[in-house]
Structure 1
Amino acid sequence: MRPLRVLFSAPTERWAEWETPLREAFQAQGLQVELATAFDDPASVDYIVAAPNGPVRDFSPYSRARAVLSTWAGVESFLANPTLTQPLTRMVDPGLVEGMVEYVVGHVLRHHLGMDAHIVNPEHRWEPTPPPLARDRRVAVLGLGALGGAAAEALARLNFAVSGWSRSPRDMPGVICHHGEAGLRAVLAQAEIVVLLLPLTPHTDGLMNAERLGWLPRGAVLINPGRGALIDDEALLAALDSGHLAHATLDVFRTEPLPAGHPFWTHPRVTVTPHIASETRPSSAARMIAENIARAEKGEPLLHLVDRERGY
């Protein structure tokens, strides 16, 4: 029996950091794999490990491929590709989750403690006003999937008063869970700090528009490490300019890299971070990919299979 043929489709510079972890992960699963960045016959490929910005744009020649395994958590660009008809899995990986939790907790604590005023204090103001305790700070997490759920639970363990919102009902310890449009308004209306960790779908594109930003209490803070298109940029700038929102910490944007002339760069109430909240780490992500291919070869269901109707 010939080895499985696995195609790696990602920007050229990523091959060096992925090749060894993938080979080691396949070996650990007992898989005989021929791994390459190209094959002469696309129809001979069994699986495709792909980044959305990889070189494969037309998936139709890969007629034998049993699955496309994304190296990213976000799969909206794959779903917009009509040639990708193979089963598609999204990346859910312990390293990805840990990185996101660290980013969210760090920036929630930063805003909760008012650290910016102490770090940048050119007038040497002495204002010994302590922040409230975490139990008195209302934090909302929109999106309670693998990333959002882990972030919400971590914040709850730090004793924050955490509310969560998702499209479908959820139940998790320490988090008051809501769903549906009425639930979204209830969550936003009391949130002092909001974290966006929703997938980008037709239902969530532009979710945080002028109306919904207006549901937030005056002085609220918005943190977005999820997807840039969750926010209406003009509405956010207007809410910041009016003082309705105190600050926005943004890690993702509609256009990346964020254009040099974009007003987010210079706005005094915006912090820009360059899409660093949670990067896929090949050392741990490769193990998840190998496990999924091993499951498929044993006839078991793929993990983290994307529901094309829901968009994630």
Structure 2
Amino acid sequence: MTLNILFAANETGWAEYEPHLRHWLAEAGIEAQLGPDLGPPSEIDYIVYAPSSEVQDFRPYSRLKAVLNLWAGVEDVVGNPTLQVPLARMVDNGLTEGMVEWVVGHVLRYHLDIDHALANQSGEWLPKVPPLARNRPVTVLGLGALGSACAKALAALNFPVTGWSRSAKSVAGVSCLSGPEGLEQALARAQILVLLLPLTPGTENMLNAPHIDQLPEGCCILNPGRGPLIDDTALLEALDSGHVGHATLDVFRTEPLPAEHPYWSHPRVTVTPHIASATRAETASKVIVDNIRRGEQGKPFLHVVDRQRGY
């Protein structure tokens, strides 16, 4: 049987993904019609999907077996009432590697105070010796695939790492906490705070004024997770007061970040344009095809989203 696989991702380049998807389909021995326009929805077996796609009503896709998301985030599709088949989020080695590199790079930038060196190019000799990593506590909020990988990488560099998640987790080399009391402890330890929580109704505005107040004076914040995890007004007030020393932000409520947004001009904010962990066509395509192969073999799909939890 020849499968019909719809590529439905407005903001993702079909030209970029096509050769990689075709390669991995051939490797898996799967015969398929593949593309962004395949005719009647009733004949589609799988949708390779980005939530920005024009496909928002899944009811016409009566033969659909699964929707295979190209993004790690599913908050823009998980609540769609017309989606009744399994939804798989993207969990990809390339995506994870990119996130680890971004997080470790910016944690080291803060730890070594590289910004100080870059700002002081006047010829004045001003040595500023950082502590060793073992004396710089880092907290990671969110211990899913990305958060756990980042926490382990930082622990391997000898940072004392605390990880927090809503449900209890265990990560080698990381002090893992959960629940409201655990969150309070995790925040209180954080000289550097990394936000890698999924976006759900329970995590929106997680970093609000009361939680920011629990951070140590001068804490630095990294947010490569989701923009709405942060109460922007509360963060700006904490940056203005100096309670938060600096924030490096990769994700925002509105993207691209509007040119007039105060984050752009704030001296204690670094903006990066949602680059911390981009989906890469070569590695993501293999993940997609592996799930199609499993579906055709009658095996459970990998990385299926729990609709109740939202991720």
Deviates more, 1:50-59 or 1:241-250: 50-59
Structure 1 counterpart of 2:84: 85
Structure 2 counterpart of 1:282: 281
Deviates more, 1:12-21 or 1:298-307: 12-21
Deviates more, 1:215-224 or 1:126-135: 126-135
In structure 2, how many angstroms separate the alpha carbons of the residues matched to 1:167 and 1:150? 17
| Matched letter for residue 47 of structure 1 | Y
Tell me the alpha carbon deviations over residues 172-222 of structure 1, each in whole angstroms, 9 at most, x when there is no partner.
Answer: 111000001110000001110000001000110010000001100001000
Matched, 1:141 2:140: yes
In structure 2, how many angstroms separate the alpha carbons of the residues matched to 1:262 and 1:124? 34
Question: C-alpha root-mean-square deviation of aligned residues, in Å?
Answer: 1.0
| Matched letter for residue 175 of structure 1 | V
Q: 1:191 to 1:90 in 2, by over 3 A?
A: same
Q: 1:13 to 1:184 in 2, by over 3 A?
A: closer
In structure 1, how many angstroms separate the alpha carbons of the residues matched to 2:175 and 2:124? 38
In structure 2, how many angstroms separate the alpha carbons of the residues matched to 1:34 and 1:144? 38
The alignment's TM-score, normalised by the length of structure 2, stands at 0.98
Structure 1 counterpart of 2:262: 263
Contact between 2:21 and 2:289, CA under 8 Å: does it hold in 1? Answer: yes
Structure 2 counterpart of 1:171: 170
Tell me the CA shift for residue 57 of structure 1.
1.6
The unaligned stretches of length 5 or more in structure 2 are none
In structure 1, how many angstroms separate the alpha carbons of the residues matched to 2:39 and 2:277? 35
Structure 1 residues 184-263: aligned runs within 5 Å:
184-263=183-262
Tell me the CA shift for residue 51 of structure 1.
0.7
Matched, 1:44 2:43: yes
User: Aligned with 2:308: secondary structure?
Assistant: coil
Tell me the CA shift for residue 127 of structure 1.
2.2
Tell me the CA shift for residue 38 of structure 1.
1.6
Tell me the CA shift for residue 137 of structure 1.
0.4
In structure 2, how many angstroms separate the alpha carbons of the residues matched to 1:185 and 1:16? 47
| Matched letter for residue 192 of structure 1 | Q
Structure 2 counterpart of 1:21: 20
| Matched letter for residue 243 of structure 1 | G
Q: 1:166 to 1:29 in 2, by over 3 A?
A: same
In structure 2, how many angstroms separate the alpha carbons of the residues matched to 1:22 and 1:292? 12
Q: 1:209 to 1:304 in 2, by over 3 A?
A: same
Aligned length: 311
Q: 1:254 to 1:13 in 2, by over 3 A?
A: closer
| Matched letter for residue 20 of structure 1 | P
Tell me the CA shift for residue 55 of structure 1.
2.1
In structure 1, how many angstroms separate the alpha carbons of the residues matched to 2:64 and 2:166? 32
Matched, 1:273 2:247: no
Tell me the alpha carbon deviations over residues 213-260 of structure 1, each in whole angstroms, 9 at most, x when there is no partner.
Answer: 110000100000000000000000000001100000000000000001
Tell me the CA shift for residue 129 of structure 1.
2.4
| Matched letter for residue 195 of structure 1 | V
Structure 1 residues 142-157: aligned runs within 5 Å:
142-157=141-156
Tell me the alpha carbon deviations over residues 138-169 of structure 1, each in whole angstroms, 9 at most, x when there is no partner.
Answer: 00000011100000000000000100000111
Structure 1 residues 59-138: aligned runs within 5 Å:
59-138=58-137
| Matched letter for residue 72 of structure 2 | A
User: Aligned with 2:7: secondary structure?
Assistant: strand
Q: 1:293 to 1:54 in 2, by over 3 A?
A: same
In structure 2, how many angstroms separate the alpha carbons of the residues matched to 1:207 and 1:125? 42
Tell me the CA shift for residue 122 of structure 1.
5.0
Deviates more, 1:56-65 or 1:119-128: 119-128
In structure 2, how many angstroms separate the alpha carbons of the residues matched to 1:81 and 1:299? 25
In structure 2, how many angstroms separate the alpha carbons of the residues matched to 1:59 and 1:261? 37
Tell me the CA shift for residue 24 of structure 1.
0.5
| Matched letter for residue 183 of structure 2 | L
| Matched letter for residue 115 of structure 1 | I
Structure 1 counterpart of 2:307: 308
In structure 1, how many angstroms separate the alpha carbons of the residues matched to 2:83 and 2:221? 35
In structure 2, how many angstroms separate the alpha carbons of the residues matched to 1:221 and 1:199? 20
| Matched letter for residue 93 of structure 1 | D
Q: 1:61 to 1:305 in 2, by over 3 A?
A: same
| Matched letter for residue 87 of structure 2 | L
In structure 2, how many angstroms separate the alpha carbons of the residues matched to 1:208 and 1:13? 30
| Matched letter for residue 129 of structure 2 | P
Tell me the CA shift for residue 29 of structure 1.
1.1
User: Aligned with 2:77: secondary structure?
Assistant: helix
Q: 1:125 to 1:60 in 2, by over 3 A?
A: farther
